[in-house]
Amino acid sequence: MSRALIADTGGLLRALARGPGGEASFPAFEAALVEARVVHVPALILAEVDYFLRDDRAAARALLADILDPKSRYELAPPSPEDLARAMALDRKFAELNLGLVDGSVAATAERLGTYCVLTTDRRAFGAIRVGRAYDRRLTLVP
């Protein structure tokens, strides 16, 4: 196991996606998830994950059970009021990216935890955003 990751919706869904034969649909995403020593899951992404898994309730329940299992590598990261305020500040600062609350909370969680590796498919937004007091810290996009 290597680094800690912050999970974004698309990255987490791709990491868990399986083909008809049970093989990983996106092996690089799966490998990043498996190799991480801890995967911080910002709680606000769960609404999006639930939406995308609306036709596969068993998968949604299994994922949530895994996230809540204290023996798993997942750590649920509920947003604090400060995280929510920071998410909105990031949304305002990077208005052209249309981050919104969920992506803003992913970035705010990364900033608060000092974990700058984000498992994501959204390279446009997370590649452009900067965090830190001086907005000088890039996020590392995985894979």
Q: Which CATH superfamily is domain 4-142 in?
A: 5'-nuclease (3.40.50.1010)
| Three-class secondary structure of residue 5 per DSSP | strand
Is 19 within 8 Å of 37 (Cβ atoms)? no
pLDDT tens, N- to C-terminus, the chain (143 residues): 589 999 999 999 999 999 999 999 999 999 999 999 999 999 999 999 999 999 999 989 999 999 999 999 999 999 999 999 999 999 999 999 999 999 999 999 999 999 999 999 999 999 999 999 999 999 999 99
Domain boundaries, the chain: 4-142
| 6 DSSP 8-state letter | E
Asked if the bond preceding 42 is cis, omega within 30° of 0, the reply is no
